A and B are shown apart, each in its own frame.
Chain A
């Protein structure tokens, strides 16, 4: 069992819902990312998605695009992100997902990546532009190394696709709340409930919902329908607004606490 799988099992046993933040590795620097991961873990998040930046992030909106540009201008590479993971593992057991696009992973070599990512302490891998059709080798290679493979499922996915994506995913399923790129929004899509009901009838893994989750009420709304909420852009924006300030890490941890509905943090 990976850390992700045991986390979702525990959440279910305790009748709780999960909270999954996304941050881009190396934004604003790899040292700060290390501190951020440790602070987020301490604040009680359940899983962390660590973004490996790619030069052409077609699934991302402007906030994560800017984070990507900052990270790449800091010369972040996959090797450095794996090294960061090793450092995190010396101090934390928080479940970690390597989140990227397919090309940087493919370029590293799938066999090599599976071996090195598992050794560094990652628990799962997700490539936002990898479709189930193209994923046979990827899924086999990652799973052989003991890593979870997580895929995106969209409101536009047909029931047959939901089933295929459910089979290719383990750990959890990443349900995209709406059509579009990553980014904040005011209201959650009304059709989310219907989409998740259909998804439940075609897949057995826990379901986490992301894209556009940017306020505490969104998180609570997602918790009513799914097993976990994923928040990316609004946390990345919080990082962006505090770059260079001494209290960046505390601010981001406090913001995450607010999203989760723990004003005391």
Chain B
């Protein structure tokens, strides 16, 4: 059996996709062994995306919180403003190597869509991005950005009109146009080999972090913190440290509006193992095995399943998973902006919020992954603030 992490992972897809998945697996493992492929990827990561991204000591945040030393891994400083480009450059080079003439992708927050459109522009490959109508509303800036980059954004009106439905539509497109089209999946999700491949492309985050913290602190960190939607930025940070038993790792899911099924995207708090989008992992589902709608203030965490490797790391207890609600994430969004001059993505704000909640002692070192920048969220936050003000003025007319 291929592509399993403990009991999780695997390949659960319509038979038509098995041949392309086998082809993809072979092409990926061959590329991975090819030094020229790696050299070209490294060069693009350096000169095009701006890697290595800094590991920044957040002095004012640390002082204000009065506890552990907080370091921020600045994935937000990547080209296109998030860690997503690490994976897209890798897969883009792979698609070109495989002779594919068209790339499709799904996007939730729009960060993966923008990174895909960017890489397609850079490599001269046609690009179609599927995006739920609800996400298009929340992320109109990224929609325009993708169009500027020459991609076609295809709205998805089925189901909950979010990331899950965009993935359904991408898989339908792929199954239909499988001979010419490359499916650039944006997270450590889906059938094998995607969870392995995307993790490998993202693991540069953890490798850099290790070298940087050793240089700055002369020791490994006590804790790594990252938000978990599909789970690519977190696995990217964690992977290089999985063997370091003294390094604690926590993944932060979206607690949304509250603990009721349908109000959050905390798969490890409210989900059960099941099969969605080609892989066996934790899923938010009802008692009949129907996948449930999710809610989060951040589109990038608003997804009912989670990468299968996270499911395995959860079950063996190597990584702890917790969640942070919308309000706490918004507070952290403001706090990081005010104290450090860094506007984080709402996704990343979940990890920041939990760093504050933990109240670790001053002799500890924490690395928080700032997986993306918050420019894309500014209009949505503005809307939420004016909505809240309107509510408050109704409650307190004087």
For A101, the chain B residues whose CB sits under 8 A away are 275
Type the 1/0 row for B232-259, where 1 means its CB is closer than 8 Å to any CB of A: 0000000000000000000000000000
| Given known A55-B290, A106-B274, A128-B14, contact A61–B19 (CB-CB < 8 A) | no
| Given known A128-B14, A134-B1, A161-B18, contact A56–B278 (CB-CB < 8 A) | no
Give the complex CA separation of A94 and B276 in angstroms. Answer: 32
* A176 beta carbon closer than 8 Å to chain B: yes
For B44, the chain A residues whose CB sits under 8 A away are none
Give the complex CA separation of A59 and B287 in angstroms. Answer: 23
B14 touches A104 (CB 8 A): no
A59 touches B175 (CB 8 A): yes
Looking at chain A's contact residues, the main secondary structure is: loop
| Given known A56-B159, A129-B14, A156-B16, contact A107–B285 (CB-CB < 8 A) | yes
Give the complex CA separation of A44 and B176 in angstroms. Answer: 33
* B98 beta carbon closer than 8 Å to chain A: no
For A78, the chain B residues whose CB sits under 8 A away are 288-289
B-to-A contact residues, CB < 8 Å: 1-2, 10-16, 18-20, 22, 158-159, 164, 168, 171-172, 175-179, 272, 274-278, 280, 283, 285, 287-291
Contact among A58, A72, A103 for B172, CB-based, below 8 A: A58
In this complex, what residue of B is CB-closest to A59?
B14
Give the complex CA separation of A102 and B291 in angstroms. Answer: 12
Shortest CB distance B160–A (Å):
9
For B20, the chain A residues whose CB sits under 8 A away are 156
Give the complex CA separation of A168 and B15 in angstroms. Answer: 13
For A108, the chain B residues whose CB sits under 8 A away are 289
Give the complex CA separation of A255 and B10 in angstroms. Answer: 41
Q: A54, A77, A156, A157 — which one has the most chain B CB atoms within 10 A of its CB?
A: A156
| Given known A133-B2, A154-B19, contact A106–B10 (CB-CB < 8 A) | no
For A179, the chain B residues whose CB sits under 8 A away are 16, 175-179
Shortest CB distance B23–A (Å):
9
Chain A positions 86-139 with a Cβ under 8 Å from a chain B Cβ: 101-108, 128-131, 133-134
Contact among B15, B171, B178 for A58, CB-based, below 8 A: B171
* A180 beta carbon closer than 8 Å to chain B: yes
B13 touches A131 (CB 8 A): yes
Give the complex CA separation of A188 and B82 in angstroms. Answer: 45
A151 touches B2 (CB 8 A): no
For A56, the chain B residues whose CB sits under 8 A away are 159, 164, 168, 276-277, 291
A176 touches B176 (CB 8 A): no
For A153, the chain B residues whose CB sits under 8 A away are 15
Contact among B22, B272, B278 for A129, CB-based, below 8 A: B278
For B14, the chain A residues whose CB sits under 8 A away are 58-59, 128-129, 152, 154, 176
Give the complex CA separation of A102 and B10 in angstroms. Answer: 13
Chain A positions 19-56 with a Cβ under 8 Å from a chain B Cβ: 54-56
Give the complex CA separation of A179 and B20 in angstroms. Answer: 11
Contact among A77, A157, A181 for B15, CB-based, below 8 A: A157
Type the 1/0 row for A144-164, where 1 means its CB is closer than 8 Å to any CB of B: 000000011111111001000
Closest 7 CB pairs of A and B: A107-B289, A180-B176, A156-B19, A154-B16, A104-B289, A59-B14, A152-B15
For B10, the chain A residues whose CB sits under 8 A away are 133-134
Shortest CB distance B106–A (Å):
12
B11 touches A133 (CB 8 A): yes
In this complex, what residue of A is CB-closest to B280?
A134
* A214 beta carbon closer than 8 Å to chain B: no
A131 touches B11 (CB 8 A): yes
Q: A61, A105, A133 — which one has the most chain B CB atoms within 10 A of its CB?
A: A133
| Sample of 15 A–B contacts (CB below 8 Å) | A55-B291, A56-B164, A61-B172, A78-B289, A102-B12, A103-B276, A103-B285, A103-B291, A107-B287, A129-B13, A134-B280, A155-B16, A156-B19, A161-B19, A180-B176
* A65 beta carbon closer than 8 Å to chain B: yes
For A102, the chain B residues whose CB sits under 8 A away are 12, 275
For A130, the chain B residues whose CB sits under 8 A away are 12
| Given known A65-B158, A180-B175, contact A77–B288 (CB-CB < 8 A) | yes
Give the complex CA separation of A141 and B318 in angstroms. Answer: 33
In this complex, what residue of B is CB-closest to A75?
B288
Give the complex CA separation of A101 and B1 in angstroms. Answer: 20
For B13, the chain A residues whose CB sits under 8 A away are 58, 129, 131
For A55, the chain B residues whose CB sits under 8 A away are 159, 290-291
Shortest CB distance A212–B (Å):
11
Give the complex CA separation of A176 and B14 in angstroms. Answer: 10
* A165 beta carbon closer than 8 Å to chain B: yes
Shortest CB distance A54–B (Å):
7
Q: B11, B168, B275, B276 — which one has the most chain A CB atoms within 10 A of its CB?
A: B275
Give the complex CA separation of A152 and B17 in angstroms. Answer: 11
For A59, the chain B residues whose CB sits under 8 A away are 14, 172, 175
Chain A positions 211-254 with a Cβ under 8 Å from a chain B Cβ: none
Shortest CB distance A24–B (Å):
14
For B289, the chain A residues whose CB sits under 8 A away are 54, 78, 103-108
For B275, the chain A residues whose CB sits under 8 A away are 101-103, 106, 129
Type the 1/0 row for A73-85, where 1 means its CB is closer than 8 Å to any CB of B: 0000111000000
